Amino acid sequence: MARPDQVIGAPFDPDRHDLGSENAFWLLGHDGEGKLMHTQAMRVLDTGARSLGDYMRHGFRDFPPAVDGLDLERSRYRAGPGAQRMRGCIAYHGEFWIGGSPGQFRGSGLSSILGRYAFLEAMHRWDPDYVFGFMQRSVAFKGFAERHGYMHSEPGALRWFLQGKETPIEGFMVYMHREDLHYILDMPLAELVPMAA
């Protein structure tokens, strides 16, 4: 992928997981000069008959943030009410990145368009019962979940501790049900993003 200063996150690492066109995809964007300016990915999780909450209680360590020095023993996942209800075909959405120079792509409304494109692609490929992702608290507080199109958010879902530090990295779980996806995808984008008009 060659994203500057970023490694592929563990959930999408092909050395850790058996990922192929049936259960995962990447979306890439390039600028006018052919330089990579955007990435995002989705994959279907095999949760069996368990809810996402039960699956993540034991498997959250497979979804770490891309930082060094995590203290996995002190880190934890807390399943909210939405995660407890989620069963069936569940798609995980991550690796969202927009590059470019300051003001070139970020803050332009492009994240709303790109996020919805990933939702549409997931609907075409898998028609998932749910799509979810994790978002750092500071990013969620800036309204990124809403700009992206997510209709539900569970604060305090993840708490990642770094070795030798007492303040954790807090993560929100954002998600949508199939009906939410249809609602968002049916909404005219021009009503949400001025550049789409």
Q: How many residues are present in the chain? A: 197
Q: State phi, psi for 94 to the nearest 5 degrees.
A: -160, -170
- For the chain, the domains span 10-196
What b/e string do you get for 138-148 counting C-beta neighbours within 10 Å, with b at 16 or more?
Answer: eebeeebbebb
DSSP run (H or E) holding 39: strand 36-45
- How does residue 194 score in pLDDT terms, banded at 50, 70 and 90? low
Residue 197 has what pLDDT? 41
In the numeric block, which tokens belong to residue 7? 């490694």
Residue 129 to residue 50: CA distance in whole angstroms: 14
Q: What is the mean pLDDT of the chain?
A: 90
Q: Write down the CATH superfamily of domain 10-196.
A: Gcn5-related N-acetyltransferase (GNAT) (3.40.630.30)
| pLDDT tens-digit map of 3-33 | 666 788 899 999 889 999 999 999 999 988 8
pTM of the model: 0.91
**Nearest in space to 195 (alpha carbons), one of 65, 108, 91:** 108
| pLDDT tens-digit map of 151-189 | 999 999 999 999 999 999 999 999 999 999 999 999 887
Residue 2 has what pLDDT? 54
- How does residue 196 score in pLDDT terms, banded at 50, 70 and 90? very low
The helices-and-strands tally (H runs, E runs) of the chain is 6, 7
| pLDDT tens-digit map of 82-104 | 999 999 999 999 999 888 766 67
Residue 193 has what pLDDT? 62
